[in-house]
Amino acid sequence: MIKSDGRSYKKELRSLLNKINQNFNKDAYWDDFRRIFEEINQDFFHQLQLINPGLSATDIKFISLIKLNMNTPDISALLGVSIDSLRVSRYRLRKKLKLEQGASLTAFIQSL
């Protein structure tokens, strides 16, 4: 599927990543992802809702990807947002999840 020469490889890889991004953000794909995620991490979304029932769908997607130990560049590519946008999202999530200043968002999410 992906050719081995440099330019073609990069072009096809970008195209493939775009398809993944588009599909991940579609509700049907997200529903499938969420169902499988919940099978593995039972009560995870329920625990999040207990902490803050006002979390948006975007917040929950972002938190789910953090729970999967994905790094910021990978999350950025998957969600189709800039790394700077993710920094802002991380800051806002810390506030929504009532974390103290200096507390690790990743460590908190992993503990759920």
Q: pLDDT digits over 102-112, tens only?
A: 899 999 999 99
C-beta of residue 66 within 8 angstroms of C-beta of residue 106: yes
Q: pLDDT digits over 45-93, tens only?
A: 999 999 999 999 889 989 998 998 889 998 888 888 899 999 999 999 9
Cα–Cα dist 37/68, whole Å: 9
Cα–Cα dist 103/80, whole Å: 26
Tokens of 85: 């946008």
Number of structural domains, the chain?
1
Alpha-carbon distances, residue 46 vs 43, 55, 63, 65, 96 (angstroms): 5, 11, 13, 16, 15
Q: How confident is the model at residue 99 (pLDDT cuts 50, 70, 90)?
A: very high
Q: Is residue 1 part of a domain?
A: no
Q: Is residue 56 part of a domain?
A: yes
Cα–Cα dist 52/23, whole Å: 27
Q: Which domain holds residue 72?
A: 6-111
Q: Is residue 15 part of a domain?
A: yes
Has this prediction a pTM greater than 0.85?
Answer: no
Q: Is residue 65 part of a domain?
A: yes
Q: Is residue 20 part of a domain?
A: yes
Q: Is residue 89 part of a domain?
A: yes
Q: Is residue 103 part of a domain?
A: yes
